Structure 1
């Protein structure tokens, strides 16, 4: 995979009228240590831990799908290995998923909320719709979904839902416990059906 560098960014900017960082580098791209050093020196960091950096100046303000509040986003980097970092996009404080991609589509949500630390897969945040309906959406080797594997690209045919915030008739046929619909799992829910549910509830919050 290509490693984005400062030299590459400068070359890109010379050839394009809008040579901004976000035009050159997309969430998920790998970058070199020189890029990390540049953003580290631009301003005092907003957040900085071992293997994690958020640039100090907000990129934008938008709705957070988890907190349902209007919050600032920051250019964010996460170390992949020595000298190599991943650009996570413009993320909310303390997070590593691109705010725009997470609220643009279900596929975007599944892709940007994928995360593994060491051998441990980190659960995705709850998916929240504009009318307030929310539900746990999980997929990977540990869940009842298809394909049943960790997929960083978020490309699934079905996913496992759980603990919806309210009754949703479209999902009832998939409930494991039909006597406790708000506190049960919904295995192998087709992604296309979940898209319909999201539209019924006004679309993704964001």
Structure 2
């Protein structure tokens, strides 16, 4: 099931779990809510850190896959492995 921006209510982390596929409107939100921390053809990270782990900031992360944009959780800049 694809999680949609339209159905999102409340806290992002309550709505999305790592592995959730999201719609293009959600990907656009990640890209446009703030200047992105990382933006490539395969990764979008929201520009504001969510947390700091080991002295490094983590960011809400989407990764482009064959299934579409997939939420990966909070990852270090430029990475897709959840850290928090």
TM over 0.5: yes
Larger helix proportion of the pair: 1
Residue of 73, 94, 102 corresponding to 2:58: 73
**Counterpart check, 1:93 vs 2:77:** yes
Q: Normalising by the residue count of structure 1, what TM-score does the alignment of the two structures yield?
A: 0.39
Runs of 4+ aligned structure 1 residues displaced above 4 Å come to none
Q: Give aligned pairs, total.
A: 84
Structure possessing the higher radius of gyration over alpha carbons:
1
In the TM superposition, what are the counterparts of 1:1-206 in structure 2 within 5 Å? Answer: 2-9=1-8, 13=9, 19-63=10-54, 70-81=55-66, 84-100=68-84
Structure 2: which 5+ runs fail to align?
none
Larger strand proportion of the pair: 2
Return the alpha-carbon distance in structure 2 between the equivalents of residues 7 and 88 of structure 1: 20
Quick one: higher RCO (CA 8 Å, sep 6+), 1 or 2? 2
Give CA-to-partner distance per residue, 1:31-53, whole Å, 9 cap, x none.
Answer: 01010001111111111111211
C-alpha RMSD of the superposition: 1.3
Return the alpha-carbon distance in structure 2 between the equivalents of residues 86 and 53 of structure 1: 10
Structure 1: which 5+ runs fail to align?
14-18, 64-69, 101-206
